[in-house]
Amino acid sequence: MLHRFADPLRELLAAKCGVPSAEIRLEQPRDESLGDLSFPCFVIAKARKAPPPAVAAELAKVLAVEFEALGATVVATGPYLNFRIERKALAREVFAAVAADGARYGGSNEGAGKTIVIDFSSPNIAKPMHVGHVRSTIIGAALIRLHRALGYRAVGINHIGDWGAQFGGLVVAIRRWRNEVGVERDPVRGLLELYQRSKHAVETDETFRAEAVAAYQELESGKEGEVRDLWRWVTEVSLAAFDRTYARLGIRHDFVRGESFYEPHLQPTLERVIASGVTEVSQGALVVRLETIDKGLKETPCLLRQSNGTTLYATRDLAALFHRWEEFAFERCLYVVGGEQKLHFRQLKAVLTRMGQDWQKRVEHVDFGLLLGKDKKKLASRTGEVLILDELIDEVVDEARRIIREKNPALADQEAVAEAVGVGAIVFNDLKRERIRDVVFDRAEILSFEGDTGPYVQYTYARLGAIERKAAERGEGTASPDLAVLENAGPILMRMARFPEVVRAAAAHCEPAELSTFSIGLCREVSSWLSDNRVLGEAPAVSAARLRLVHHARVVIANGMELLGLAHPSEM
Ligand code: ARG
């Protein structure tokens, strides 16, 4: 959006200095009080063989009038020309752009015709999502929305962990203890308990282990019968539970393809890797050595088939990757998975490289830090047991409900608002910092209406809505606006203008935090502007201009929330 101002400035500089306009780069000044756009004069100084500060000072002087005609004033600071865009012109352009695109302002078509595959959430059946899955779910969903806004076809895949030897043990545990545990009554907790008991039994009980191995063999053989039925039932029950959570977060995957989905592709995948000549047999197992590709993988070849013939997580992921490449010819394929699987994805990419599949460049592991409790230890439920995401959301929603009752007892629809605020608090907290950093989950802090939180953004949005509603009741805002009164709204206007750039950078870097930081910054600027500027009850042209700002800022805040995955109740 700022191009509308930047382009003519660049053209002018290029023409006056005899430098190709492609070489004139306008930057964002590090300190926004210096200006809105900044031009480092080094290219011109070099061409002229003059010191950059002298060039900056000279250009500021001789071109002042011409810059002004383009809607910008200029100041030379050291080697930089710093431009300040005239607020009235900025407001006019920004409002026009926001009004033209409405809910789509911030997006673009740059991804048209391109597909991005995003593997996210991907929990394991028979177990509740653990905190790593929570982060993957929230970050992955944000990346899907960001890319869709940019016109990409974004395909979300849930690579459920539903295959592996552990399911042999689980089947046997169900057989033995289903009534004792009462798994039908509370399948999520029941299955978890059976899963834990089966793990223990496999290690300690010889007969149990033999039965478990036989069950897994039967499962792998594809035979229909009791084992497959039980496995199917576990899958259904687990998926139903995951779906309830996804619904609360407003998330839908395009494809739910568990590891089992790739069973028919495993043999062809192995054959393909073998045919490419990169495999070796080592102690009966099929491996791909990777040190020629990546020295760091010297000790860790990729194991694709164990000596007993069974395949592994990596085998299934490799099969999935070929399948995705063939189906989607993706521009990028992202794996939103915690940092503890770094080695795994490095190996997968290295295997592809050894096979000469240069599209491995498009495959990226989007890793992230841990979600920790207030004590900086792994987050657990209040009772210290395994944390169930749905219960965690319930807890935060309860607290949100309490706060809302206290702050706004007359509010209609408190239930829906509490849900929106509770979920918004959890989501925002996860997207607040660079994803690689650990996140601390402090129930009180994430709900604070004043902190860098989801509820703060939601509250600011609702506050702007309230001003607009009141204006409508009072019939204000219909006069022709005097945009000159927005002179002190520069920080807000500049942020609104930069929003499309922020969306694009957040997607490109797979870093939703760039957007959450932006949203907080915009809300802070809006709040501070509101405390200095009365919107309603001023001279009609003044109120009208301020209401325009309120309205368009509210649209931008809403668009940001939408992309992050925060609901935006109109009242709070
Ligand atoms: N189910 C795995 C886990 O819980 C995560 C799967 C991530 N996706 C993938 N394609 N490997 O650790």
Percent of the chain past pLDDT 90, that is, above it, reads: 90
Taking residues 503-516, report their average pLDDT: 98
Instruction: State the Cα–Cα distance between residues 39 and 479, nearest whole angstrom.
Output: 38
Instruction: State the Cα–Cα distance between residues 174 and 323, nearest whole angstrom.
Output: 33
Taking residues 513-533, report their average pLDDT: 98
Instruction: State the Cα–Cα distance between residues 60 and 82, nearest whole angstrom.
Output: 9
Cα–ligand 1 centroid distance for 217 (angstroms) = 22
Tell me the H-state helices in 298-446: 313-328, 342-354, 389-407, 414-431, 443-446
Comma-separated ranges of CATH 3.30.1360.70 domains in the chain: 3-85
Tell me the best of 139, 159, 323, 330 to mutate to test the pocket of ligand 1, counting ligand atoms within 8 Å of each CB and taking the most. 159
pLDDT of residue 129: 86
Instruction: State the Cα–Cα distance between residues 237 and 27, nearest whole angstrom.
Output: 53
Span 3-85: which CATH code? 3.30.1360.70
Taking residues 285-311, report their average pLDDT: 95
pTM of the predicted protein model: 0.95
Tell me the best of 313, 337, 343 to mutate to test the pocket of ligand 1, counting ligand atoms within 8 Å of each CB and taking the most. 337
pLDDT of residue 236: 95
pLDDT of residue 13: 95
pLDDT of residue 413: 94
pLDDT of residue 553: 98
Instruction: State the Cα–Cα distance between residues 558 and 176, nearest whole angstrom.
Output: 53
Protein residues whose CB sits closer than 6 Å to any atom of ligand 1: 119, 122-124, 159, 161, 317, 335, 337
Closest-lying ligand 1 atom to the alpha carbon of residue 313: 11
DSSP reduced 3-state for 170: helix
pLDDT of residue 391: 87
157 pLDDT exceeds 80? yes
Q: Residue 85 pairs with which residues in a beta bridge?
A: 72
Nearest 5°: the CA angle 425, 335, 153 is: 85
Residue 503 CA to chain centroid, in angstroms? 11
Which residue's alpha carbon is at the smallest distance from atom 6 of ligand 1?
Answer: 122
User: What separation in angstroms does the CA of 233 have from each of 171, 174, 186, 260, 483?
Assistant: 10, 11, 14, 14, 63
Instruction: State the Cα–Cα distance between residues 206 and 200, nearest whole angstrom.
Output: 11
Cα–ligand 1 centroid distance for 368 (angstroms) = 13
**409-564 sits in which CATH class?**
mainly alpha
Nearest 5°: the CA angle 129, 123, 393 is: 30
Percent of the chain past pLDDT 70, that is, above it, reads: 99
Cα–ligand 1 centroid distance for 427 (angstroms) = 21
Tell me the H-state helices in 20-105: 42-48, 52-62, 64-69, 87-101
Tokens 């950093």 -> residue = 437
Instruction: State the Cα–Cα distance between residues 106 and 118, nearest whole angstrom.
Output: 21
Taking residues 185-208, report their average pLDDT: 93
379 pLDDT exceeds 90? no
Which residue's alpha carbon is at the smallest distance from atom 1 of ligand 1?
Answer: 161
pLDDT of residue 310: 86
Tell me the best of 341, 364, 366, 389 to mutate to test the pocket of ligand 1, counting ligand atoms within 8 Å of each CB and taking the most. 341
Taking residues 173-199, report their average pLDDT: 92
pLDDT band at 45 (very low <50, low <70, confident <90, very high): very high
Cα–ligand 1 centroid distance for 137 (angstroms) = 12
Backbone angles phi, psi at 571, to 5 degrees: -135, 150
Q: Is 468 within 8 Å of 551 (Cβ atoms)?
A: yes
For the chain, the straight-line distance linking the first and the last C-alpha, in angstroms and rounded, comes to 32
Closest-lying ligand 1 atom to the alpha carbon of residue 130: 4
Rounded (10°) angle between helices 131-149 and 540-564: 130
Comma-separated ranges of CATH 1.10.730.10 domains in the chain: 409-564
pLDDT band at 309 (very low <50, low <70, confident <90, very high): confident
What residue type is 185 in one-letter code? Answer: R
Instruction: State the Cα–Cα distance between residues 548 and 477, nearest whole angstrom.
Output: 8
pLDDT of residue 170: 97
Q: How many CB atoms lie within 10 A of CB 113?
A: 9
Which residue's alpha carbon is at the smallest distance from atom 4 of ligand 1?
Answer: 123
- Mean pLDDT, the chain, rounded, equals 95
Instruction: State the Cα–Cα distance between residues 155 and 60, nearest whole angstrom.
Output: 50
Burial of 281 (0-12, 13-18, 19+ CB in 10 A): exposed
pLDDT band at 131 (very low <50, low <70, confident <90, very high): confident
Taking residues 59-64, report their average pLDDT: 96
Tokens 């002179």 -> residue = 487
374 pLDDT exceeds 90? no
Q: Is 430 within 8 Å of 371 (Cβ atoms)?
A: yes
The dihedral over CA atoms of 196, 198, 201, 203, expressed in degrees to the nearest 10, equals -80
DSSP reduced 3-state for 367: coil
**439 sits in which H/E element:** strand 439-441
Taking residues 79-90, report their average pLDDT: 96
pLDDT of residue 387: 78
Taking residues 140-145, report their average pLDDT: 98
Cα–ligand 1 centroid distance for 342 (angstroms) = 12
Each residue's pLDDT tens digit, 465-494: 999 999 999 999 999 999 999 999 999 999
Which residue's alpha carbon is at the smallest distance from atom 5 of ligand 1?
Answer: 122
3-class DSSP string for 517-551: HHHHHHHHHHHHHHHHCCCCCCCHHHHHHHHHHHH
Which residue's alpha carbon is at the smallest distance from atom 9 of ligand 1?
Answer: 159
**303 sits in which H/E element:** strand 302-305
Taking residues 39-62, report their average pLDDT: 95
Q: Residue 281 pairs with which residues in a beta bridge?
A: 286
Q: Is 88 within 8 Å of 483 (Cβ atoms)?
A: yes
